[in-house]
C-alpha cells in the first residue's frame, strides 16, 4: 500500500452527496438574511419571505402562471405523498418504477391506498417501455431516478390529450433539465437536491387540471391535516402564496432564497443547466479513461446529469464501503457510495452547486481509492 501514489490535489469542496447536496459556491450561514428568524411565519416579514421564495422558484424554473407553487412539509416525499393521497382514486393508476423511490410510490399505491395500479418496471440502469403507458390513467413516475442514474429523455412520451394526470417526482431533475410544464400536472421536489438547500421542506407544483380534480373529487380515505389542500370544496389558495399548512423553518427558507438568488446570478435555469452539463461531461471523461469504471445507465440518452451512478469492476457492497471510507478519511470525497438498495457502485452528484474543477480533481482520487481497496 505504501507504493500507491497519493494524488497531489484534492477537490476544494469534496461534497458529492446526492442529497443533501453541496451548498452553492461561496455559501456561508453568515450570508443569510436573518430578519425573519425568530418571527412568526404568519407575520408580514415571514409571509413576504415565503412569497419571495416562491416567486424566485417560478422565475428560475421558468414556470408559467398556469402552475401554482406551494411549500409543504416532509421534503419531496411529503410533497409527492400529499399529491397521491389527495388526488388518486378518481381514475385508474399507472406507476413507473426503475429505482427505489419509484418503487416507494408503487408501495404507497398498492399497500397504503390499495389502488391496484398497473406497474411498469425496469431494472436498475434501464427505463420501462414508455410507449406502453396508458394516459387514460393517472401516471406516477420519477423524472430523474436519483438511485439509478436513469432519467426520462424528455417529455415527448407524455400525451398532450391525456385524460389522466401526470405526477412527476422531479426532485433530482428541476433546475437541471428543461421540463415541459404543459405536460406536467403535478411536480414535486426538495431544496436539498439541485439547489443544495436544507432538507425537511417539499415543493408542490400544480397545473390547472389538478385544481379541477381537487375541487371535484374527495378520496375515500382520511387525510391528515398536513395533506389537506382544499376547504369547503375549494382549493386553499393561501398555500400557494406562502401561507404554509404547518410551521416552516424560516432558516431553511432563507437558505433556499440564497441558493435561488445565486442561481439568478448565473443566468437562471440556463446557467444551472450549463454547470450540471459540464460536471456530467467531466465525470463521463473520467469514466471513459478507466476500464474499471462504467455507467449503470448504459444509454447516454437516459443517463442522469445530476445523480450519476457508476459501476466498479468486481465490486460488491463491502468493497464499495471500504472504497468510500478511504476517500472520506482523506477528505477527498464524501458520501459517494451508491444507494443501499441499488447495485453495488458509486454515486456522484453532478448538479449545479458542484464545481467542475472538483469533479476533475476527483479522478485521480478514484484511482487511489480503487488501488488501496484492492490491495487492502
- Which residue in this structure is represented by grid cell 379541477? 212
Q: What is the mean pLDDT of residues 364-371?
A: 97
Which bin fits 89, alpha (ψ -120 to 50), beta or left (φ > 0)? left
23 cis-preceded (ω within 30 degrees of 0): no
- The mean pLDDT of the chain is 97
Tens of pLDDT, residues 10-40: 999 999 999 999 999 999 999 999 999 999 9
- Which residue in this structure is represented by grid cell 414508455? 130
How far apart are alpha carbons 188 and 72 in whole angstroms?
10
Q: Is the pLDDT score of 44 beyond 60?
A: yes
Residue 1: band (very low, low, confident or very high) from pLDDT cuts 50, 70, 90: very low
Radius of gyration of the chain (CA): 21
The residues near 52 (Cβ < 8 Å, ≥ 6 apart) are 257
The residues near 212 (Cβ < 8 Å, ≥ 6 apart) are none
How many alpha carbons lie under 13 Å from residue 344 in its C-beta half-sphere?
13
Assign 3-class secondary structure to 60-78: HHCCCCCCEEEEEECHHHH
Q: Where are the beta strands (DSSP E) in 216-313?
A: 230-231, 234-235, 293-295, 307-312
Q: What is the mean pLDDT of residues 296-314?
A: 97
Q: What is the pLDDT of residue 2?
A: 54
Q: What percent of the chain has a predicted confidence (pLDDT) above 70? A: 99
How far apart are alpha carbons 87 and 102 in whole angstroms?
18
Q: Which of 287, 285, 306 is closest to 348 using CA atoms?
A: 306
Q: Where are the domains of the chain?
A: 29-264, 268-374
Cα 244 to its chain centre, rounded Å, is 21
What is the DSSP secondary-structure string of 39-60? S-TTSHHHHHHHHHHHHHHHHH
Question: pTM of the full predicted structure?
Answer: 0.96
The class that CATH gives domain 29-264 is alpha beta
How far apart are alpha carbons 306 and 281 in whole angstroms?
11
Q: Is the pLDDT score of 337 beyond 90?
A: yes
Residue 376: band (very low, low, confident or very high) from pLDDT cuts 50, 70, 90: confident
Coil, helix or strand for 188?
strand
Is the CB of residue 53 less than 8 Å from the CB of residue 260? yes
Look at the domain 268-374 and name its fold: 3.90.1150
Residue 4: band (very low, low, confident or very high) from pLDDT cuts 50, 70, 90: confident
Question: Cell triple for residue 119?
Answer: 406497474
DSSP state of 25: T
How far apart are alpha carbons 249 and 227 in whole angstroms?
18
Residue 3: band (very low, low, confident or very high) from pLDDT cuts 50, 70, 90: confident
Q: Which of 208, 254, 234 is closest to 71 using CA atoms?
A: 254
Question: Cell triple for residue 278?
Answer: 459540464
The residues near 304 (Cβ < 8 Å, ≥ 6 apart) are 144, 145, 146, 149, 150, 151, 172, 280, 297
29-264 and 268-374 agree in CATH topology: no
Tens of pLDDT, residues 285-295: 999 999 999 99
Question: Cell triple for residue 113?
Answer: 391506498
Tens of pLDDT, residues 212-264: 999 999 999 999 999 999 999 999 999 999 999 999 999 999 999 999 999 99
The residues near 279 (Cβ < 8 Å, ≥ 6 apart) are 305, 350, 351, 352, 354, 356, 359
Assign 3-class secondary structure to 122-137: CCCCCCCCHHHCCCCC
Tens of pLDDT, residues 141-193: 999 999 999 999 999 999 999 999 999 999 999 999 999 999 999 999 999 99
DSSP state of 301: G
Q: What is the pLDDT of residue 338?
A: 97
Amino acid at each position: 500500500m505504501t507504493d500507491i501514489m497519493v494524488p497531489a490535489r484534492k477537490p476544494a469542496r469534496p461534497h458529492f452527496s446526492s442529497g443533501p447536496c453541496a451548498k452553492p459556491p461561496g455559501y456561508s450561514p453568515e450570508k443569510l438574511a436573518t430578519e425573519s428568524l425568530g418571527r412568526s411565519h404568519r407575520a408580514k416579514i415571514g409571509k413576504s419571505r415565503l412569497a419571495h421564495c416562491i416567486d424566485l422558484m417560478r422565475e428560475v424554473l421558468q414556470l408559467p402562471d398556469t402552475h401554482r407553487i406551494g411549500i409543504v412539509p416532509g421534503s419531496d416525499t411529503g410533497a409527492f405523498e400529499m399529491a397521491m393521497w389527495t388526488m388518486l382514486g378518481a381514475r385508474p393508476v399507472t406507476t413507473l418504477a426503475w429505482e427505489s423511490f419509484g418503487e416507494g410510490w408503487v408501495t404507497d399505491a398498492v399497500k397504503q391506498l390499495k389502488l391496484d395500479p398497473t406497474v411498469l418496471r425496469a431494472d436498475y440502469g434501464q427505463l420501462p417501455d414508455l410507449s406502453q403507458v396508458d394516459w387514460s390513467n393517472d401516471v406516477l413516475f420519477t423524472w430523474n431516478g436519483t438511485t439509478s442514474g436513469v432519467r426520462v429523455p424528455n417529455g415527448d412520451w407524455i400525451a398532450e390529450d391525456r385524460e389522466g394526470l401526470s405526477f412527476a417526482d422531479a426532485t433530482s431533475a428541476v433546475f437541471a433539465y428543461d421540463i415541459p410544464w404543459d405536460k406536467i400536472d403535478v411536480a414535486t421536489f426538495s431544496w436539498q437536491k439541485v439547489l443544495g438547500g436544507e432538507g425537511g421542506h417539499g415543493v408542490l407544483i400544480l397545473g390547472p387540471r389538478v385544481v379541477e380534480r381537487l375541487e371535484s373529487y374527495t378520496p375515500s380515505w382520511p387525510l391528515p391535516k398536513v395533506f389537506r389542500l382544499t376547504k369547503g370544496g375549494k382549493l386553499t389558495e393561501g398555500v400557494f402564496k406562502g401561507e404554509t399548512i404547518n410551521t416552516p423553518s424560516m432558516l431553511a427558507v432563507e437558505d433556499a432564497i440564497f441558493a435561488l438568488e445565486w442561481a439568478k446570478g448565473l443566468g437562471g435555469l440556463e446557467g444551472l443547466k450549463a454547470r450540471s452539463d459540464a460536471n456530467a461531461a467531466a465525470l463521463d471523461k473520467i469514466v471513459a479513461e478507466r476500464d474499471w469504471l462504467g455507467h449503470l445507465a448504459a444509454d447516454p440518452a437516459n443517463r442522469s446529469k445530476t445523480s450519476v451512478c457508476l459501476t466498479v469492476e468486481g465490486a460488491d457492497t463491502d468493497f464499495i464501503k471500504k472504497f468510500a471510507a478511504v476517500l472520506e478519511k482523506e477528505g477527498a470525497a464524501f458520501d459517494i457510495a451508491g444507494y443501499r438498495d441499488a447495485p453495488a457502485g458509486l454515486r456522484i452528484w453532478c448538479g449545479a452547486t458542484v464545481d467542475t474543477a472538483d469533479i476533475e480533481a476527483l479522478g485521480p482520487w478514484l484511482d487511489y481509492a480503487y488501488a488501496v481497496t484492492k490491495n487492502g
